[in-house]
Chain A
Amino acid sequence: MTTALAVLAGGLLGPALLTAVAVVVPAVIGRIFGRLLRTALLLTLPIAVSVLVVNLFFFPAGRDVLFQLGPVTATAEGLEFALETLARIGAISGAITLFYLTTPPSELVLDLERRGVSPRIAFVALASVQTVPALVERAATITAAQRARGLDTEGSLWRRLRGVLPLAGPVLLGSITEVEARTLALEARGFTRPGRRTLLWWPPDSARQRLARWVLVLAVPLLLVARALGWLGWLN
């Protein structure tokens, strides 16, 4: 939601305000601001830097010269556009990171099921999130086993790649063969039985959470209309 709003609000102030209200405040309350900042920065740093450099120096409509650096010129318009884009990127990555850090996949899946999503689709969503760490762990142990048999992975980057690349196939294949075992296990426990499931535990959903969600949902069409009518000039 915050993401859509950030794009719609436009300007620099809009996304910045949104990030503050919908990302920073909850993160600070939830005491995860440090982790949030670190993860979001790691995710977006490469993009952010390139956006800044490209726009600062190569903005096509740039007239107002800020400074000269060798053959390239930094323009004020470029800087402004870069900052606006960065504000949006910040809001988007902040929102996604906040969601990722606060929502255990298993709760997300239960909630999806409660909202009538088919258990199959919910399971696929859960499995795809959960296989990533499993895959990483698997790759690490397989590599360890090959190092124990003399595979050199500690030298130059090239050497490491040459050693590890042949292992990528088996790592993936191994996970695929595991799928069969998993399917059988699910089948054996009645996963494909028709009918609704009774959940023994519901993820909590407080009135405040529901209110916050509705406010955000309603804000989208409001902002759309406001933007179309040109009421948001003050944000720029």
Chain B
Amino acid sequence: MTDLALEGVSYRYRQGATLALDGIDLHIRAGERVAVVGQNGSGKTTLVRHLNGLLRPTLGRVLHDGRDVARRTVAQLARTVGLAFQDPDRQIFAGSVRREVEFGPRNLGISGGELHRVVDEALAEVGFAGEASTNPYDLGASRRKLLALASVQSMGTPVLILDEPTTGQDMRGVEIVKLLIDRAHAAGRTVIAISHDMEFVAASFDRVVVLRLGRVILDGSPASAFDEGSWEALRSTYLEPPLPAIIGSRLGLGATPTDDELLAAL
């Protein structure tokens, strides 16, 4: 299990005029479920790409279990951190669903019956059990996204990062993503997800990190991040607290970020 830390991380893209990340200090303990939120361009993708070495800090350090990862390659870090991209079309390349999902575990040295098992498991998890031989291009955009998730999930890394997993998914798709996160969490894995869907964030995560202009402006449990005292900060980065949180607050019921909590309080 792995503790992740960013220490004073700033990052500037080569053509970027401003800092995409501006002095981020963040410590994520093994087994946490962390949602990273913030308006478009606030630096969410840039932040998570530092955790597996795809981007290297312009300033500051990235640590896995207290050790600086500067000298380790992305391929080495992929044993610890699996990252599913925001755009599945930039990730999927194999000719069949099975080959796509096999790619990651195979790179980690898994083979034979074990490989078959982890792939089947990952496919079943996203509802692709009968589609192992389908060509990924024949799937619709939202299902390609699920395939991209499965192909990272199958690696079984201690840390699982999902860049906007629920974007474009209908209710069933969101349910699949939630279950996938619950399983990974139950297995003791760290789950980090970027999302614009606050209801999903409140339901599936223990911790919410809010970014604005490359800085962390809020960091806490859904109850505190969606508490009335935080609304101004949330709205400053164009986020709206989830409806149950607003209703709970109006009715003076305290912090009720999810439907279930609101119903319980009522």
- The 6 A-B pairs with the shortest beta carbon distances in the complex, nearest first, are A150-B107, A170-B93, A149-B104, A145-B91, A150-B78, A152-B75
Q: Which of A117-159 contact B (CB under 8 A)?
A: 138, 141-142, 144-154
A144 touches B137 (CB 8 A): no
Measured CB to CB, the closest approach of chain A to B156, in angstroms, equals 12
**For residues 161 through 186 of chain A, which have their beta carbon under 8 Å from a beta carbon of chain B?**
166-167, 169-170, 174, 177
Partner of B151, one of A147, A149, A153: A149
Q: Specify the main secondary structure of chain A where it touches its partner.
A: helix
Q: Which of B82, B93, B94, B107 has the largest number of chain A CB atoms within 10 A?
A: B93
Please give, as numbers and ranges, the residues of chain A lying within 8 Å of B79 by CB-CB distance.
Answer: 150
Q: Closest residue of chain B to A178, judged by CB?
A: B89
Shortest CB–CB separation between residue B2 and chain A, in angstroms?
16
Decide yes or no: A141 and B75 within 8 Å by CB, A147-B54, A149-B107, A151-B107 being known contacts: no
Q: Considering the complex, which residues of chain B in the window 50-98 have a beta carbon less than 8 Å from any beta carbon of chain A?
A: 52, 54, 73-75, 78-79, 82-83, 85, 87, 89-94
Are B82's CB and A148's CB within 8 A? yes
- B103 contacts the other chain (Cβ, under 8 Å)? yes
With both chains docked as a complex, state the minimum distance between the C-beta of B55 and any C-beta of chain A, in angstroms.
9
Q: How far is the CA of A197 from the CA of B59 in the complex (A)?
A: 51
User: Could you give 20 example pairs across A and B, Cβ below 8 Å?
Assistant: A142-B91, A144-B74, A145-B91, A147-B78, A148-B74, A148-B83, A148-B85, A148-B152, A149-B78, A149-B91, A149-B151, A150-B78, A150-B79, A150-B107, A150-B108, A150-B155, A152-B75, A153-B74, A167-B93, A170-B92
| Number of CB contacts from chain A to chain B under 8 A | 63
What count of chain B residues pass the 8 Å CB interface test?
A: 25
CB pair B82 A149 closer than 8 Å: yes
Q: Interface size (A, Cβ < 8 Å)? A: 20
The answer to whether A138 and B52 touch across the interface, beta carbons within 8 angstroms, is no
- Per the bound structure, the CA–CA distance linking A151 and B77 in Å amounts to 11
Taking CB atoms, residues of chain A closer than 8 Å to B75 are 147, 150-154
Max chain B CB contacts within 10 Å: which of A145, A146, A152, A177? A145
Please give, as numbers and ranges, the residues of chain B lying within 8 Å of A167 by CB-CB distance.
Answer: 93
Residues of chain B contacted by A148 (CB below 8 angstroms): 52, 54, 74, 78, 82-83, 85, 152
Measured CA separation A166–B92 after assembly (Å): 12
Tell me, rounded to whole Å, the shortest Cβ–Cβ distance linking B75 to chain A: 4
Report A177 CB to chain B, min CB distance, Å: 7
Do residues B90 and A149 form an inter-chain contact, with CB atoms below 8 A?
A: no
Partner of B90, one of A141, A151, A153, A166: A141
CB pair A145–B74 under 8 Å, yes or no, is: no
A147 neighbours in B (Cβ, 8 Å):
54, 74-75, 78
Which residue on A lies nearest to B109, using beta carbons?
A150
**What's the least CB distance linking B72 to chain A, in Å?**
10
Q: How far is the CB of A156 from chain B (nearest CB, A)?
A: 13
Whether A149 pairs with B152 at a CB distance below 8 angstroms is yes
Q: Within B121-173, which residues are at the interface with A (CB < 8 Å)? A: 137, 151-152, 155
Q: When the two chains form their complex, are residues A154 and B107 in contact, meaning their CB atoms are under 8 A apart?
A: no
- Looking at the assembled complex, report how far the CB atom of B47 sits from the nearest CB atom of chain A, in whole angstroms: 15
Question: Shortest beta-carbon distance, B264 to chain A, in Å?
Answer: 39
